[in-house]
Structure 1
Amino acid sequence: MINNLNLVDRLFESYNYKIARTSTNDVRIYTLQYGMYHAAEIISFDKAIDVSKFKNEFSELGYATDVKVVKNLEEVEEYLFEGFFIKTPLGNELKNRYKNFVKKQLSNLPENSQYKYIDSDFDLILQNNLGEITEAKSYSSKDHSIITKINELFTKTAGALFIIIEAPAGFGKTCTANEILNCITVENSKILPFFTELSRNREARVFKHILLSEIDSQFPNGIKQNVVLEQIYKGRIPLIIDGFDELITKDSNKEDVESMLTTIVDLLQNDAKIVITSRKTAILNSEEFIETINSSIENFSLARFEIKEPTIENWLNPNRLKAILENEFPISQISNPVLLSYLRNIPLEKLEDFLTTSEGTLIDKYFDYLLTREQERQNLKLDNQTQFRVFRKLNRFMSEFNFTAETKETIKDFLKEYNIQILQESIKQYKEKDIKPSIDELTETLSNHVFLDRKTDGNIGFINDFIFGFLISENLILEKFQEHYKGNFTRVIPQDFAQKSLEASRVQSISNKNKLWEVYNEHDFGYDSVFYFDADYFLKNEIKRNFKTLFLSDRTIKNLLFTKYSFENCVFAGITFENCTFSTSTFKKSSFQNCKFYNCILQDKTSIIYDDFGIYVCQDNNDLIKEINSLYCKDNDKNEDESDNSLTEQKVLLQFLQVDEKRPKPRKFSVIKQRLSEYSDKEINNIIDSLIRKGYLHFKDDVGFITREAMNFLNHNGN
């Protein structure tokens, strides 16, 4: 017999059961009523007890009865969870969700295509519930899969676990989220993942309400929200939240961001497991993020994954890659997962034909394939350009009202209202032998277009950022925004929408890249300096302006000249520079933090002040950093070697601790410099560089983390 019957009773009551008056200490009877359906659970604590009279009594009263013999409270919990979550339509839906995702991925590809998750290199920082870094490592996709690593963390991490997966657009965040879902199968484990794909909705404002609303809508009717939350805390319902950054805009205030982070942290109790995916955003390195995580890190472990850019070798087999290289095809025209997925699956002879035909760019051919097939698939009497026209309008509508998904009815209403003449003309194209659709039927067809996708919450949006960004760029190049919004068009496009247009335009023709660059540079959109750096780099592959207070983080920059335009008060954090040329005289009060320089060179070799071109914890594959160090003015050192109060490793490490000097706390590099302002930047850098080499510190972008080894060092040196 279970010692505490009150706990059993409360557990059943949390699932809306009522305790039958005929219950005894040996046999508990719980009844549940849903409309016309009445059920009775007869729970026995000893299999030797005869429960037949109870079963007969409630069966005669019209109850569907079930008898369960249990040994302990855990068995009761498991029984109820399986009955209300696993063995429900939701459990079956979960099995099909991944299949439906794969089906969507294949919908834009030729027949007989096969879906395959593309592994990429990735970085991992693992922080335990003491705040210590226990692992900071880069993994190669040749040897390790990010999915395998995440699965290991799920099964081996004791207590709550918070996993953040970061990557730029198109690097596979959503695919990774769905692969994680696929690993957590109902058949192999008694847990039920909750998966939601966030999108910016005009009505959505408070993240906590969005998340709780999603929970309410996805779980069975009659299940109290607190029951679901309790199962989340126990780890039976892991949360997978795809597109966390969708709710963060340039205008998001500090309170909104803190509220979003606090909502997630509040769920990280007991054995909860939460995964979020996000674009690379400064929010996840902000003081707000550091403070929110740090205030409750003792409750959970934190794993931060960063997916690196998939290589063409990851996507294409040797035969296809050989064809591309032999035809000297510009790699930049295919460095996009949408196109790479297409090239991976088209017949090899068709690929070779694409490579040898000069008419149109590869992206033109891809869209021609996609939209022509749409005419056949849906018996759509709209030529390709008209289809583009319809969805450029929808794209402008989404930009104006700043949303990425809406209800299907809203999307259909828009398609109908703003394209009525196009739809009427289309209907005339149907021949007598065809079944001529009505306006409403044609609108329904367009709402199922290959460009669109139904999100987890049932809303409709564009199928991916590439299509969305491409249509933004088309609207600007063709001056559609300018035409419809006159002098106000620069205020209609949110910066993150414009950013998608830059990333999508990397595969555009040189002519279209130039046109888009001119639009962004001839008008004042009010975007930040990072956007304009990206516009120069993605569209021109050269710097075209002076920069002030630019903070650039965590990306790879190739074949760029930093020699003509000036950089003042700029910070480069976690950047990998490949084949770049620098002129130290173009930089003032700027720094490079945790950067890598591969095959980079200096153009001039004049003396420089450390504060103007500071190198902090960087590495190279030649003598570039050594060469830069030799150019620093000697009087810049503040005579630190002669000072009685010279900076020590211990003093630097103490800056990465809480006020009590007992627990770790991540710190932004700028904060460390401020706290150690009595010392020169060069002296600070030398000590930090030494600590990194010893494995005592690890930097992610401009944020430093103390390791477990460093804590041992401090504990043995009088701290």
Structure 2
Amino acid sequence: MAGRDKPQIACDDERIAKAPSASLLAQHTVERYALSTPLRRELEEIYKRYGFEVAKLYDPEGVIVFTLKTGYFDNADIVPLSEEAQTEKAFNDFSAAGFACTVRNYLTAKQTEHELFKGFFSVSSILDRLGRDYSQFTSSIVRPFADDAKYTYINAPYSVNGKKGELSPAEEVVSRLGANKPMLFLIEAAAGFGKTCTAYEIVHLLIRNADYLPLFSELSRNRKAPIFRYVLLDEIDRKFPTLSSRLVQTEMVKGRVLTILDGFDELLRKADDTDEFDKQEPMLETIGQFLTGSAKIVLTTRRTVLFEGDAFHTWAANHADNFELVRIRIGEPSISDWLPEDRLSAINATTLNIKNGLSNPVLLSYLRCIPKDKFDAVVQSPQDLVERYFSFLLEREQVRQDLKMSVDTQKSILALIAGDMISRGYTSEQRDYIVELVLRSCLQELEASLTLYPAAERPDREFLANKIASHALLDRSNKEESKIGFINEFVLGYFVSSNILRQPDWLNDDLRFLEPAVTSYGPRTREDKTALLDRIRTSLEFASISYRIDFTAKLSGAVDFPLSSDEAEGLDLDDVNLGSLPITDFQFNDCTFRNCQFTLSSMANVTFLNCKFYGSNVAVGTSDSKIYLLGESGDTAFLREAIQASAVEPAQQKDHPQLLERHVLEKFWPIGREKLMHKHRPISGICTASGDYKPNEIFEAVVRLKKSGLLLQPNNTSFVELNFDRLPEIRQILGRP
């Protein structure tokens, strides 16, 4: 942060000496007066925060003067302390001394602070720039489909801390900004399902309200040190180059500067190549250090193992008294919200699997925006939807850039770029590097294209390589033209999958490439999906169990490998067969099942905790062991009826309920610990089977403790917390002094 110290406020003695009031202004210490009002003290504190010094108090006139030296210029703010204040003398004195003087209107301390914030942070100009960025971003999404296409932010279904959202993900964030407490917003979505659009939509909503100033950054484009503190300070330097970082951080704490970091999973990856919580916890701890006062930080991320399981929930619970965590999960978009009725009816009349094949914002944008003749062609051959999508964009690129390069050649070059990304582990790179890569590795393709130009108009290879670097499928951001990345993760996945299918022994567990590849195959045929799954099976063995289940289910429609002694969280499974291979001692937490088949004869000691069941789910067979359905919602009759047919639990001792409740409370205050360890605990961690205690028994004990008031329900439905007002009773149950 060199060169960013507080401005020097020393006055030029010789220049001031020539002024009528030089004997007063040349003092190096501020003259103090007996008069001290709350307004004056508040104004002094506010102005000092912005780098001013108190130069003089005009007691009889009711005026205070603050001075600030910025480079060559000396500035003076003439501030009245009442509506009757006389500012002429102060203005004349400091003008004669060479200061650029501004006479302020009489304002309250809060109004003064707001005006200084708007002036120093150039709020109007920054919001104007952000507005242009938003327009460029949204235009880049729809422009490839039609010149007159209009962008609309489509609200996808989402949940907030496990509860169904009623607004939109962006409005959910903005509606909470006025809370006088620090808040961390974690916006999660699958690859290509609206994280960046939501981040921009938050910015768009804030542009209308000058009370908040977004500090917005796409982390995938920050190549600085992979440490949150340094990344944030670097963003402050880049977005507010004329202000001290301390001042910006102060306004962050006050809640006026809202930090929005898009692609937080990129930062996690740069910090460490693993998803182990103990390796990533320091990053979260650093974020926690910025969450004080009324600070608000928004992180968008794809679902990652870091945010799953007991370790993260425990970390969040341990910090619940320091800041509030608002976890927003964006689901699949509703097709009826995207397409007008006539186009939706036309799609429904085809053989296209609208349920699984079209639940992707990229393809829905394409079907929404393309001209009617192109849409009619898609309807005639829906099985070719993806290839028509890319052919459409690549043909438009030939016209847009006067690019005489066939569709297949464009695909070949873009696939090569994707292959380089995979091998070198990046998703965006300097433009010059991409140009050099094309020149070095695509010589044959470039030469073939050059022959298509008339001799008199034929460009050179460098010219064509630069056209590729400016390709509509690569120019992801208009803000930093030096960085090149694919326009969205669906497009990235298309070209990643082409690399995967060309390599029989492909092995790479980087989720930045695996997830987009799987997502891009949603609209494909069953045969195509099977081919991709066969190529990535070995890689999936190195992924978290939640991702392995998710990807396998999307590509095969089943969980076709055994599950044992583990737990999955946050899955959204549609039309999936569970139990084709054994599932034993396994727990599903906060998962959603739609139209799934549960083969119970292959399940033993399986727990469904806080899961949702919708549509036409069916249960087949019965289980020889217990299946636990805890805290569920939706239509669960199909599963409850089958579970009731299983073996009855043996009778328990009379004190068994009390022992269970003690077992639950020990999760907060473990045996052998002198002090209470946890105020909050995740229900999923509490209800894991332990010794003679079954998950359903533990869950019922949690419910009883909540009803008795010993445990409370915090904002997050996945947690419970101790009622400290009842601590004497809790001590007695645990047998603690």
Under TM normalisation by the shorter chain, which class is it?
A: 0.7 to 0.9
Count of residue pairs brought into register by the alignment: 681
- CA-CA distance at 1:404 after TM superposition: 1.8
Distance, in Å, in 1 between the alignment partners of 2:296 and 2:163 is 22
Q: Deviations over 1:582-623 (max 9, x none)?
A: 3323224433222234433332235x222xx34333356253
1:209 has 2:220 as partner = no
Quote the residue 2:378 is aligned against. Answer: 354
- CA-CA distance at 1:522 after TM superposition: 6.8
Q: 1:28 aligns with which of 56, 65, 72?
A: 65
Q: How does 1:381-396 map to 2 (within 5 A)?
A: 381-396=404-419
- CA-CA distance at 1:280 after TM superposition: 2.3
Q: Deviations over 1:81-121 (max 9, x none)?
A: 11111346423212323222221222332222121111122
Quote the residue 2:295 is aligned against. Answer: 272
- Shift of the 574–506 alpha-carbon distance from structure 1 to 2, 3 Å rule, reads same
TM-score by length of 2: 0.82
Distance, in Å, in 1 between the alignment partners of 2:489 and 2:708 is 41
Percent identical residues: 25
- CA-CA distance at 1:217 after TM superposition: 0.8
Quote the residue 1:567 is aligned against. Answer: 583
Q: How does 1:182-261 map to 2 (within 5 A)?
A: 182-185=204-207, 188-199=209-220, 204-219=225-240, 221-249=241-269, 251-261=274-284
- CA-CA distance at 1:375 after TM superposition: 1.1
For the aligned residue pairs, the C-alpha RMSD in angstroms reads 3.7
Greater C-alpha Rg:
2
| Code of the aligned partner of 1:67 | V
TM-score by length of 1: 0.84
- Shift of the 522–52 alpha-carbon distance from structure 1 to 2, 3 Å rule, reads closer
Q: 2:645 aligns with which of 631, 642, 666?
A: 631
- CA-CA distance at 1:189 after TM superposition: 3.0
Distance, in Å, in 1 between the alignment partners of 2:707 and 2:427 is 45
- Shift of the 496–120 alpha-carbon distance from structure 1 to 2, 3 Å rule, reads same
- CA-CA distance at 1:651 after TM superposition: 4.7
Q: 1:665 aligns with which of 677, 680, 694?
A: 680
C-alpha contact 1:173 1:277 (8 A) present in aligned 2: yes
Q: 1:181 aligns with which of 187, 203, 207?
A: 203
Q: Deviations over 1:488-514 (max 9, x none)?
A: x524x6234212211111123444323
Q: How does 1:10-409 map to 2 (within 5 A)?
A: 11-17=46-52, 26-34=63-71, 39-46=75-82, 51-52=87-88, 55=91, 64-87=100-123, 89-125=125-161, 137-139=163-165, 144-155=167-178, 157-185=179-207, 188-199=209-220, 204-219=225-240, 221-249=241-269, 251-331=274-354, 332-357=356-381, 361-409=384-432
C-alpha contact 1:27 1:45 (8 A) present in aligned 2: yes
Q: For 1:298, what is the secondary structure of its paired residue?
A: coil
Distance, in Å, in 2 between the alignment partners of 1:573 and 1:697 is 20
Distance, in Å, in 1 between the alignment partners of 2:244 and 2:405 is 48
- CA-CA distance at 1:236 after TM superposition: 0.8
- CA-CA distance at 1:153 after TM superposition: 1.9
- CA-CA distance at 1:288 after TM superposition: 4.3
| Code of the aligned partner of 1:173 | K
Quote the residue 1:508 is aligned against. Answer: 524
- CA-CA distance at 1:394 after TM superposition: 1.8
- Shift of the 643–714 alpha-carbon distance from structure 1 to 2, 3 Å rule, reads same
Quote the residue 2:622 is aligned against. Answer: 605
Moved more, 260-269 or 250-259: 250-259
- CA-CA distance at 1:297 after TM superposition: 2.3
- Shift of the 521–277 alpha-carbon distance from structure 1 to 2, 3 Å rule, reads closer
C-alpha contact 1:19 1:31 (8 A) present in aligned 2: no
Distance, in Å, in 2 between the alignment partners of 1:246 and 1:352 is 39
Q: For 1:343, what is the secondary structure of its paired residue?
A: helix
- CA-CA distance at 1:234 after TM superposition: 0.4
1:643 has 2:654 as partner = yes
- CA-CA distance at 1:686 after TM superposition: 3.8
Distance, in Å, in 2 between the alignment partners of 1:154 and 1:65 is 36
- Shift of the 521–594 alpha-carbon distance from structure 1 to 2, 3 Å rule, reads same
- Shift of the 292–514 alpha-carbon distance from structure 1 to 2, 3 Å rule, reads closer
Moved more, 157-166 or 286-295: 286-295
Q: Deviations over 1:673-698 (max 9, x none)?
A: 46x64533342244456779999777
- Structure 1: tracts of 5 or more residues without a match: 126-135
1:683 has 2:705 as partner = no
- CA-CA distance at 1:401 after TM superposition: 2.4
Quote the residue 1:443 is aligned against. Answer: 465
| Code of the aligned partner of 1:552 | A
Q: 2:533 aligns with which of 517, 521, 539?
A: 517
- Shift of the 298–550 alpha-carbon distance from structure 1 to 2, 3 Å rule, reads closer
Identify the structure with bigger relative contact order (alpha carbons < 8 Å, sequence gap 6+). Answer: 1
Distance, in Å, in 2 between the alignment partners of 1:716 and 1:524 is 50
1:592 has 2:605 as partner = no
- Shift of the 324–268 alpha-carbon distance from structure 1 to 2, 3 Å rule, reads same
Q: How does 1:418-567 map to 2 (within 5 A)?
A: 418-432=441-455, 434=457, 436-452=458-474, 453-454=476-477, 459-479=483-503, 489-491=506-508, 494-521=510-537, 526-549=542-565, 551-567=567-583
Distance, in Å, in 2 between the alignment partners of 1:198 and 1:31 is 35
